[in-house]
Each structure stands twice: as C-alpha cells, then as structure tokens.
Structure 1
C-alpha cells in the first residue's frame, strides 16, 4: 500500500511530500514501511513540486602522461622530414605508424605490449592503441606501399648526399620465417640467419632503403637485385660505397652499365 504523507521541516520551513509504501514481510511476520521524499508542497497551490535532480559532475579527472619520448622523437621526425613523408604516403595511418615507432625506439619490445605504453605516454595518435588495432593495420603495409615510400623518401633527402650499401646478417632460432637459412655467419654462430640489406645516407646517417634476403645468399649476388630495384625507384646520380664483399667482375660491370658512381674495396 502506497500513500503520501506530509512532513514539516522547521529548518527549511517547507512541508515535504513523503511517499510511504507498506508491505508485509512473511519471514519476519511484520509490516515494513519504506519512505522516500519525492518533493515538497507549494504553499499557495498545494501542489507537490518534485525534487530537483542532481546534475552529474562534468569535471574531467586529470591524467598524467610522460612527454619525454614525444618531445625528442617529434623533433627528430620534423627535422628529418619523416613526418611529412609519412603523411604523404600513408595519410590514413601516419599517426599510428609513428606511435609504433616511438614505442619500439623507447622500449624495444614486442608491439603486443604497446597498449600499456600508450596509456602512460604522449604519442602522435594521442590515445590508447590496443594490439588488435595494430594487427588489423599491418596488412596495409605490403611491399608495394613500402616501395612507394622508399621512392618518395629517397628523392626527399638525396640532395648533396651519397649513399652506403651494406648487408648484415641477423641470427635466428625461428623455424617459421622462410628467409631464415644457413649461410656465412659473421658472428661465428652456428645458427640460421636472415640477411638485411640497407642503403644509408653518409652525411645524414638516415636509412633510405632496406630489403631482407635469405641467409644463404652472399653479398656479391645481392647487388644485382638491388640495382634492379634502384632502377625501379628512379634513383639517379647515386654514389654507392661498398666493402669488398660486393667486389666481383660482374658487379663492377653492372654498376657501369647502370651509370652509377661507386667506391668499392678490392678483394
């Protein structure tokens, strides 16, 4: 049973409307009365004026994030022109790419742990970046989009620059990577390896292009593949600096045939 009870408050001088609900409790065998103030009576009309609803707080809780990595990497990205290059080639993903790069540079850990790091640090994306979103993004970065970036990037920084080409090997225990093969191991490790070829600007120290090769391929035979790529990328007026691992009669002939300037150590 529900009824409205008048309750006068001397402090406020108002008569409040109290909703009283009675119910029988079978277990306790007694009548229980629940009361709730629903408003107060208007002294002129006698109508019940409902209570005002409390406004929910709109104040935002302060969040503290580390800015050290962002300040350093933002400056480096703007100074080298990397940010503008990524915006040009990857207009829909450049903030995500830079956020992943910041994390890898700062932590050197697997991208699956990036989410926790983005919660504590200021990043180009400036929001939490779950691993699932990273993995959904990765298929968009295939070899075609990489080559498009390499082409734009090299033309952006090549003025008054010359480049060094070298191959290094990275040992691996993986049995899932197809390019991991046995070959000449520079670290004298009895492990399979993958070869990483990279072109780097000598003056700036900025990487321009990279490619991975099976660990069984020697430096001397990778140059021919790189020259084909350089033609496709429209790299003109290159001056390559190479060690004796690239020295062979065939390679020297190919370098001349492609019209490239080069400095190479003789074997």
Structure 2
C-alpha cells in the first residue's frame, strides 16, 4: 500500500513529506515500510516542495529504514493511491480543466467531494471530515456538511450546461452520452428542486 507520511521536526518546525510503501518482510514475518523523501511542505499553500534532503542525510536514511522513527517528530499518514488515479483520469479526459474554467474558486472542493462520493460510494457527506484527514485530495482541507450544501446550491443550471458543453467538445464522434430518464415523483411542498415535467407513470406530481 502506498501512502504519504508527513513528519514535523519539532526543532525547526519544518514538515517533510515521505512516500511510504508497505511490504511484507518474510524473514521477520511482519509488515514493514520503505520511506522515500519527497520534499518539504509549504506552510502557506500546503503544497509539497521537492527537496534533495541536504543537511538531513543521516536523519532521512534513518527514517527510510525504520518503521517507527525514534527522532522527535509528529507523523501523519495520508493515502493517495486511488485519489492519484482520479487526478490522472481527470487530467486526461479534461474534467479538471473544465471544472476549473466553470468554477475557478471552488473546483478543487468539487473534485474532493466527487472523489469522496466515488471512493466511498453511498457514505453520507458528513463523514467527509474523517475521510479527508486520511486521504490526499485536491482541496486538501476540511469541507463541512453545511459547506457542501452551500456549494451544491450555488451551482446553477447555466453552470451545468457550460460544463457539459466543454466536455462535449472533447468527445469523439463515436462517443455518446447515456442519460437515465427515470422520473421520481415527490409530494413535498418545500423542495425547490422538484418541478413539473414529463412523468412516465402519469402521476400528477412534480419530479
């Protein structure tokens, strides 16, 4: 299993990021981890800045060989295998670029929520906080349930059509869109999302 481990040096206050790859040690019959220094974490942006680890050679070698480093530090582990794959898919099919064009200020939050819904399937959104602390995702910060609701409500029909239009231009001639036209009727008098349209069941209710 691949994960990113963050360790903060209490003396310097610098946080370093390591790639941690777990493997099974046949001789010791236990799980071990190999760690490779990626870089230092920028305190302002939270991004990982690549570094060669100069002046930290002995310490880094020790961290790379020991599963539990003895040096005084604060460790934090993040899983990134699945989200890294989604990052690459989004880049390849243009989803990330199109979302950024449609929602320049919130596209990273949208991507993080989408990743969560894909990887956790039917899990409720209020559990995003725990998931977000364990996984590396585009937004990289906590998104409250209320913030998620506000974000969804801020997306207009025009925004959706703009995104679909941008995505449509990327599709080849032999590709097609498949839509689920199932209608779900509602007796609610408070939901703003429901409206009258074509009802396949011929119910006199909004969908």
TM-score bracket relative to the smaller structure = 0.5 to 0.7
1:184 corresponds to which residue?
Answer: 201
Residues 56-95 of structure 1: pairs in structure 2 closer than 5 A: 57-59=11-13, 60=15, 61-95=74-108
Query: Is it true that 1:133 corresponds to 2:147 in the alignment?
Result: yes
Distance 1:134 1:58, change over 3 A: farther
C-alpha contact (below 8 Å) 1:96/1:125 kept by paired residues: yes
Unaligned runs of 5+ in 1: 1-55, 186-191, 195-212, 215-267
Q: Distance in 1 between matches of 2:196 and 2:86?
A: 32
Residues 25-40 of structure 1: pairs in structure 2 closer than 5 A: none
Kindly report the root-mean-square deviation, in angstroms, between the aligned alpha carbons of the 2 structures.
3.1
How far 1:57 moved relative to its partner? 4.2
How far 1:162 moved relative to its partner? 4.1
Q: Distance in 2 between matches of 1:97 and 1:141?
A: 10
Out of 132, 137, 144, the residue aligned to residue 123 of structure 1 is: 137
Unaligned runs of 5+ in 2: 1-9, 16-73
How far 1:146 moved relative to its partner? 1.1
Any idea what the Cα deviations from partners look like across 1:187-229, whole Å, max 9, x if unmatched?
A: xxxxx8x9xxxxxxxxxxxxxxxxxx83xxxxxxxxxxxxxxx
Any idea what the Cα deviations from partners look like across 1:114-135, whole Å, max 9, x if unmatched?
A: 1221111110112222223323
Equivalenced residue count is 133
TM-score by length of 1: 0.42
Q: Which has the higher strand share?
A: 1
Query: 3-state SS of the aligned residue for 1:64?
Result: strand
How far 1:105 moved relative to its partner? 0.2
TM-score by length of 2: 0.53
1:107 corresponds to which residue?
Answer: 120
Q: Distance in 1 between matches of 2:137 and 2:75?
A: 17
C-alpha contact (below 8 Å) 2:183/2:200 kept by paired residues: no
